Amino acid sequence: MRDWVAEFYKKQNDWLGVYLGPVTEEDHRRAQRLQDLAELNGKKKVLELGGGGGQTALAIAQLGHEVDMVELLESSANWAKKLAEQHAPQRLNIIQADFYDWEGPEKQYDLICYFDSFGIGSDLEQKELLQKMHHWLAPDGLIVIEVGASWYWSGQAWGQEYDFELGIRRHEFDPINCRLLDKWWLKNSPKEVYQQSLRCYTPADFELLLENIPLKISKLQTGPAFDEAQNIVQEQADWADCMTYFVCLQKESEKSWTDQK
C-alpha cells in the first residue's frame, strides 16, 4: 500500500524542492495553530511525524519546545538537520526513519503531531500507527492529526488541475476506497505519472479507527479551504468547504477503558 511514498516525495523535491526551503509564515502559522489547539503552556516534548524538511518542526521549536522529528527521505532529513544546526541545535532533533516501522525512544511525548499526509497506508496500517502513537504519548499528552476531508476531495476538488511550470498536478478520487489520488507529471513526459494516494475520512469514520485502542477524540477543528475565485488558501473554513480537519486525541483513563471492555 505504501510502496509509492518514497519515490513520490523524492520527485516533489527533485522537481520543485518542496521540502528544501526556508521556514515560511505558513510554517509559523501552523506551529501557532498547534500551540493553540493543544493549549500548550511552558516547554513541552513534541514529536512530529513526516516532518519533511523540518520547517514546521523548527517553527514549533522556536516557540520554546523540545522537538523530535521523524522523516523518511534522506534529502529532506538532511535539510532539516541543516536548519536545526543553524537555528535550534539544542531543541530540534531529526530522525531519518519510516515512522510506520520506527519503534520510538524510551521517553514519552507531551504532544504528537502529524500534518498533511495521514492516510498514506491502509486502515490497518493507520490503526497500527495510532497504537504506536498511544504508546509514545505521555499520560496527559495530546495527539493532533490533520485528516483529509472525504467530502471535499470527492466533490469540488475532483478533476482540478494545476500548472506548476515544469508540469501538471491533477486531483482525482477513488470512491470505492475513499482515497485522494494526487497525480503529478512533467509536461515533456506526460505518460510518466507519479501519484500519492491518501485515505480520507469523515470524523465518524476516523473514530472507527480507534476501536480497541485506548484513545478518544477530545476536539475537532476545521482546517483550510481553497478559494478558487481568488486563488488563495483560507487558513480556516467551515465544515462544508474545508480540505482537511484536525483531530485531537487523548488517552482513555484506565478505568474508563476497562469499563468499555
Domains of the chain by residue range: 5-149+200-260
pLDDT < 50 positions in the chain: none
**57-92 in b/e burial notation, b at 16+ Cβ within 10 A?**
bbbbbbbebbbbbbbbbebbbebbbebbeebbeebb
CA distance 221 to 39: 13
The single-letter code of the amino acid at 182 is: D
pLDDT given for residue 260 in this prediction: 61
- Write out the DSSP string of 132-163: HHHHHEEEEEEEEEEEEBHHHHTTTTTT-EEE
Instruction: Report pTM.
Output: 0.94
Tens digit of each residue's pLDDT (9 = 90 or more) over 79-112: 999 999 999 888 999 999 999 999 998 889 999 9
Query: Regarding the domain delimited by 5-149+200-260, which CATH topology (the fold level of the hierarchy) does it fall under?
Result: Rossmann fold (3.40.50)
pLDDT of residue 1: 67
CA distance 115 to 208: 20
| Location of C-alpha cell 526556508 | 22
Q: In this predicted model, what pLDDT tens digit does every residue of 235-255 receive, in sequence order?
A: 788 999 999 999 999 999 765
End-to-end C-alpha distance for the chain, whole angstroms:
31
